[in-house]
Chains A and B, each alone.
Chain A
Amino acid sequence: MKQITVISGKGGTGKTTIAAMFYALSDSVIADCDVDAPNLHILLKPKIIEELDFFGMKKAVITDLCTQCGLCYELCRFDAVFVDENYSIDMSRCEGCAFCYNACPEKAIEMVDNKSGKLFVSKTDYGYFVHALLNPGEENSGKLVSEVKMKAKEIAEKEKVEYLIVDGAPGIGCPVIASLSGVDAALIVAEPTMSGLNDMARTIRLCEHFKIETFALINKFNLNERMAANVEYYCKNNDIEVLGKIPYDENIVKQISNIEFPFKGNAADKIAEVWNRLKEVV
């Protein structure tokens, strides 16, 4: 089983569109690892077969045993302890390091479970699908991404499918790093804009940093052919194969609006060509 993560750096370049098509075209399991803005389930209309609670880092709570010594306030580097009449913890700032818990001389701090999201295993018309929903504003999306990916891998191995496709998050931080760990290849979906090029460049460096084999595709290339050529040139100079160029296609816009999937039309055909090429090279 091969694992392929679809990422982009910049948001909105078409990761979900591309990843969903790869999934529909192959014998695979797909994991939506963009856990703070997951969108795949909208397209795939999953039937949920299993629902699991996700627990983030435990968080600190100050109990009645507190004698107001203020040590926790001094030690916390995340400004999560604040003083009104009494000392208390701002849960949204607490990182769960338990420094205060271990240091409190009165044992007045407890670490409590923090249910911060849900993980779903589903069946779709194309196979198994794993996604999650993080409670709004929660941290630790890297940890949730790892759990989503692990669950999807477990199913992929059990079902003996050929591919695990991972739809990644934008950016280059912890959720993206977690979605890249241990995969066979990363596919960067670039768009022909200055921001798209700039973000792709940082994403390529991230993949290099973690020594992951990387490929690219240029989405909506005909919206700016000059910039698309710059993207191609940059990839060539960095030894990244551009597996294909997908045209901007109003059919896809309409089909997303009406949630008609799998996509059909010119762009969809090109995505299928890229998928065939990706299978050859990975």
Chain B
Amino acid sequence: MTFPVVALPLPPPASRVPGPAAPLDVQRIREDFPILHQRIRGKRLVYLDNAATSQKPQTVIDAITRFYTVENANIHRGVHYLSEQATAAYDQAREKIARFLNARSSAEIIFTRGTTDGINLVAQSYARTFLKTGDEILITGMEHHSNIVPWQLVCEQTGAVLRAAPITDAGELDIEAFERLLTDRTRFVAVVHLSNALGTINPVKRLIELAHARGIPVLVDGAQSAPHLQVDVQELDCDFFAFSGHKLYGPTGVGVLYGRQSLLERMPPYQGGGDMIMTVTLERSTWAPLPAKFEAGTPMIAQVLGLGAALDYVSSIGLERIAAWEHQLLTFATERVVGIDGIQVIGTARNKASVLSFVMEGVHPHDVGTILDDEGVAIRAGHHCAQPVMQRFGVPATARASFAFYNTLEEIDSLVNGLLRVKKMLA
């Protein structure tokens, strides 16, 4: 299979073609996820911790097993059959991802360890190279630590200053404040697409327009959005987009950084080693073209193939249908949980997806999590790697239920019943 290396538009994948979205057959879909069929502490597993990591369909598990059983070889090296096959499969997965994000070319798709790795790559290769003392990097007050700390590190290295646009009581970005913070000193913007702690969907297209009007490149943290929203990097016009495989029904240890080709070309390598070079002498080396320039060493081949299988699975259902069902789940869960006296939802933005964060009066989220676990209901309790968000809302932690398209309305009933038990025991 060949792939255009110049900026030719790719044909739209089936899931992108607009059409009437048939409702999901959730029971059928659940059959594809073996882990959902077990009992936890004698109760049926109700997995509502999808923002932490999603479960894997059998096709993903099979792709990884098949690779290690009959396909395993290193890529871009051997002249033997297995290596050629593995190389072709690896490159094909990259093309799938380019189509999934609607990138102009697969040269813009860099495999990483995950979202965190992708953001660190941009911080160290782009920001560290091009920023200097007094320059500013703008983020928001609802970032995950992975979209804060890499910028703090690069600020220490370059003398640049990190600014954060505030959020409102509803957990929405204060767009006017964001606009005011875009100044002549701003050299880079990094924003989360879908907040893992609040569920807020940021108007990233608008934010990118505002930044681009000043010639400022923008990175979008897509860790939570890639599994739940249809992402089109050309339509967003973002310069970088990072996501993780494991939140998108794929394996851990693999992620993707999309980068605009013209920027990736200007950036120096992030890591040096095998596979990323053109020539090496003991005096100096030259770099391989994109995307290899940013992929030093033997990559996570099995995980990349697993991610490819995950994208095939997601595309076979269609993100529009996935998003429509998840919206129903979130709406239903929000109504039911808000109906419990003493529960306050943290994050009440108008535009939300997949995440329901809340606190129960007089009860610590850890106790909520432990008692729900006894009911077989898995949620997250804690600061969600977003301590500034917790500080903004004056809570040490929240309880968070986060949904995926394999969740059912009955599972939300289990969540609510569990919360009533928590209340009875502790409140």
Q: Do chains A and B stick together as partners? A: no
Contact residues of A with B, CB < 8 Å?
none
Chain B interfacial positions (CB closer than 8 Å to A): none
